[in-house]
Amino acid sequence: MCGIVGYIGPDQAADVLLAGLRRLAYRGYDSAGITVVGDEALRTVKRAGKLDRLEAAVRETPLVGTIGIGHTRWATHGAPTETNAHPHSDCTGRISIVHNGIIENYQALKAELEAQGHVFTSDTDTEVLAHLIEREFKGDLAEAVRNALRLVEGSYAMAVVSQDAPGVLVVARQHSPLIIGHGPDAYYVASDVPALLHRTRRVTYLNDGDIARLTRDGVSLWGKDGSPRAPQIVTITWDVSAAEKGGYRHFMAKEMHEQPSALVDTLRGRLPASDQAAILSELEMTREELQKVGQVILIGCGTAYHACLVGEFALEELAGVPARAAMASELRYRDALITRDTLAVVISQSGETADTLAAMNRVKEMGARVLAITNVVGSSVDRAADKAIHTNAGPEIAVASTKAYTTQLSMLFMLALAFGEARGHLVPERARELRAAMRNLPEQAAQALAQEDVVNACASRFRGAHGALFLGRGANYPTALEGALKLKEVSYIHAQGYAAGEMKHGPIALVTPECPTVAVAVPGRVYDKMLSNMQEVRARGGPIIAVGVEGDHDLESYADAVIRVPRTEEVFSPLLAVLPLQLLAYACAVDRGLDVDQPRNLAKSVTVE
């Protein structure tokens, strides 16, 4: 999730662009850059690291001009270096472009362009756009952009300027947000409202397929079918703080509701529409190598450890490969049975968790091959792994991890599918069914997240609670643990996640009317056992909130309240069942008036032991 800005007006563009980028820093900032169109040439300054490094560089290299574009990067392809920072240019240096999104077919396009003599300087997918526009440019920049984008598959919000198109700034949008700001005597471009609110509240939200040309005289806009249309202008009423949260009260709420789009972005290009085998190019493991893996050990902390537990179940279920989850803080001090045929899957949103890094280094020393699943390109975990799969969830600001967790699960499901198909554990027809079910998950997640009224009503049951129990079995035992962790860390209510079958071995002593129980009771091989466990709790006066699927009306007789999620494959159900539990934890924290995004005693990334 990068941030782009653009400006055309009477003021010096550099100042306007930097002010806009400062207001987009929450979208990620591993590098940044701006291009200003001068009288003689385009001038570009870019730096790795945070924005203040770019601002210092611009102070040393004054950029004169009143048209420009800028970018703050959250790397998805290519390490966060100065070379990979945006803006990117073509061979001649007369075209400069910034982009937020993922060009899925960039490798094929890059090979074609290189064969035609184009010389690339970065590892990014974005640079392909600059060279495509260079090749298509015949004097009309908007036309060149339109022709170039016809060849592109993927997502983009982009802005481009050219020395050969003076006084013109062209933008385009597909799947990544982009808005145009209409000032009294200037026009602005931004990924998000906060970047331009200090200049104007009158904006046009571009639609997928839109291309627009901005000049000092106005905005020309063409829709997906190429037909011109008048820009629809709306007035923003939010303040800046609300705008950074997308209008939500907290980052946690924004990030919970970003999960459907984060899943789309994470699965993009990895789960093709046609019935091909699951593509995990980052894995770079041949069929034979996948077959030779003797065991998989999944390593993480906190929520990432819970993802490891989901992965353990999925790998055994779909791939028939021995798998076990390990808490990094424990594994780092154990003589774990790591052999050369061990694949270590290291999961970390931040990629900087000290315990996870230590455990990772230990298993590497013992000969394991390491695959990372991380949300931060260029993080320590990313760089230390043999291979890495990036969850394209965008920056996760709230301490409580939500969209990182569900996108981690989606990648673990893809990994299990890849293993299952390579090892012949999944027959083609079953693999096709599972891939079809995966394609539905983003939309189903959106449906599951639309339960706030029901969830808020359930949250009132936790007022005055002496504690809470979260019960789950099989695929959803980790869901119970994750639900309990979410409630603990944002609402400070003591909550225990437990394997429901273990209740009779002690925890059932905790059951009282003041101790609500949340039971994950979605269809699966242990559904009936879950109903029995719920009866055990109810018989002792414990209030029960059940998470079940739409259409399952038996649950009403086993629970005091039921929150419903769409039906999916049992092995995928943890991804949907966790969503109401996230909402519940959030509702309880808000109900208690707590600092939801920054809970006491906690840090977003635990970089110390």
For 511, how many CA atoms within 13 A lie in the half-sphere containing its CB?
24
Task: Find the shortest distance in angstroms from Cβ 303 to ligand AGP.
Answer: 3
User: Which is nearer to ligand AGP, 483 or 516 (by Cβ)?
Assistant: 483
CB 101 within 8 A of CB 157: yes
Using DSSP, state whether 98 is helix, strand or coil: strand
Task: Find the shortest distance in angstroms from Cβ 302 to ligand AGP.
Answer: 2
**Binding test (CB under 6 A) with ligand AGP, winner from 124, 356, 380, 582:** 356
User: Which is nearer to ligand AGP, 303 or 406 (by Cβ)?
Assistant: 303
**Alpha carbon of residue 342 to chain centroid:** 28
605: contact with ligand AGP by CB under 6 A? yes
Size of the site for ligand AGP (CB under 6 A): 15
Q: What is the 3-state secondary structure (H, E, C) of 510-569?
A: HCCCCCCEEEECCCCCCHHHHHHHHHHHHCCCCCEEEEEECCCHHHHHCCCEEEEECCCC
12: contact with ligand AGP by CB under 6 A? no
Instruction: Find out whether the peptide bond into 228 is cis, omega within 30 degrees of 0.
Output: no
Task: Find the shortest distance in angstroms from Cβ 534 to ligand AGP.
Answer: 26
Stretch that binds ligand AGP, among 114-122, 349-357, 440-448, 557-565 (CB under 6 A): 349-357
Task: Find the shortest distance in angstroms from Cβ 30 to ligand AGP.
Answer: 16
User: Which is nearer to ligand AGP, 266 or 350 (by Cβ)?
Assistant: 350
406: contact with ligand AGP by CB under 6 A? no
User: Which is nearer to ligand AGP, 307 or 546 (by Cβ)?
Assistant: 307
What letter would DSSP give residue 279? P
451: contact with ligand AGP by CB under 6 A? no
Decide if 486 is catalytic.
no
479: contact with ligand AGP by CB under 6 A? no
CB 550 within 8 A of CB 416: no
d(CA 507, CA 501): 10
606: contact with ligand AGP by CB under 6 A? yes
**Binding test (CB under 6 A) with ligand AGP, winner from 34, 256, 399, 418:** 399
Decide if 604 is catalytic.
yes
Task: Find the shortest distance in angstroms from Cβ 586 to ligand AGP.
Answer: 12
Nearest to 180 by CA among 170, 172, 190: 190
Q: What is the 3-state secondary structure (H, E, C) of 30-66?
A: CEEEEEEECCCCEEEEEEECCHHHHHHHHHHCCCCCC
Burial degree of 238 (CB within 10 A; 0-12, 13-18, 19+): middle
CB 2 within 8 A of CB 74: yes
| Continuous H helices in 225-301 | 240-244, 251-257, 259-267, 287-292
113: contact with ligand AGP by CB under 6 A? no
350: contact with ligand AGP by CB under 6 A? yes
User: Which is nearer to ligand AGP, 128 or 400 (by Cβ)?
Assistant: 400
Stretch that binds ligand AGP, among 22-30, 347-355, 456-464, 562-570 (CB under 6 A): 347-355
User: Which is nearer to ligand AGP, 155 or 582 (by Cβ)?
Assistant: 582
Nearest to 164 by CA among 129, 136, 126: 136
User: Which is nearer to ligand AGP, 278 or 328 (by Cβ)?
Assistant: 328
Using DSSP, state whether 149 is helix, strand or coil: helix
**Binding test (CB under 6 A) with ligand AGP, winner from 349, 380, 391, 573:** 349
Residue number, nearest CB to ligand AGP:
302
**Binding test (CB under 6 A) with ligand AGP, winner from 31, 72, 261, 348:** 348
- Indicate which residue of 364, 387, 529, 604 is catalytic: 604
CB 513 within 8 A of CB 543: yes
Please, which residues have CB within 8 angstroms of residue 580's CB and are 6 or more apart in sequence? 448, 451, 455, 547, 563, 565
598: contact with ligand AGP by CB under 6 A? no
User: Which is nearer to ligand AGP, 277 or 606 (by Cβ)?
Assistant: 606
Q: Which of residues 223-262 bind ligand AGP (CB under 6 A)?
A: none
Q: Which of residues 269-328 bind ligand AGP (CB under 6 A)?
A: 301-304
400: contact with ligand AGP by CB under 6 A? yes
Task: Find the shortest distance in angstroms from Cβ 199 to ligand AGP.
Answer: 35
Using DSSP, state whether 161 is helix, strand or coil: strand
User: Which is nearer to ligand AGP, 21 or 449 (by Cβ)?
Assistant: 449
Stretch that binds ligand AGP, among 68-76, 176-184, 204-212, 394-402 (CB under 6 A): 394-402
User: Which is nearer to ligand AGP, 304 or 575 (by Cβ)?
Assistant: 304
Amino acid symbol at 255 = E
401: contact with ligand AGP by CB under 6 A? yes
372: contact with ligand AGP by CB under 6 A? no
89: contact with ligand AGP by CB under 6 A? no
Give the residues across from 179 on adjacent strands.
190, 205
d(CA 141, CA 126): 17
Task: Find the shortest distance in angstroms from Cβ 304 to ligand AGP.
Answer: 4
Nearest-5° angle of CA 333, CA 336, CA 339?
Answer: 140
- Indicate which residue of 2, 301, 458, 515 is catalytic: 2
User: Which is nearer to ligand AGP, 147 or 605 (by Cβ)?
Assistant: 605
d(CA 141, CA 442): 36
346: contact with ligand AGP by CB under 6 A? no
Q: Which tokens go with 304?
A: 């990432």
Nearest to 559 by CA among 504, 521, 515, 503: 521
122: contact with ligand AGP by CB under 6 A? no
589: contact with ligand AGP by CB under 6 A? no
Q: Which tokens go with 112?
A: 């074609």
Please, which residues have CB within 8 angstroms of residue 493's CB and are 6 or more apart in sequence? 462, 465, 467, 468, 487, 588
Residues assigned a catalytic role: 2, 604
Contacts with ligand AGP, residue ranges (CB under 6 A):
301-304, 348-350, 353, 356, 399-401, 489, 605-606
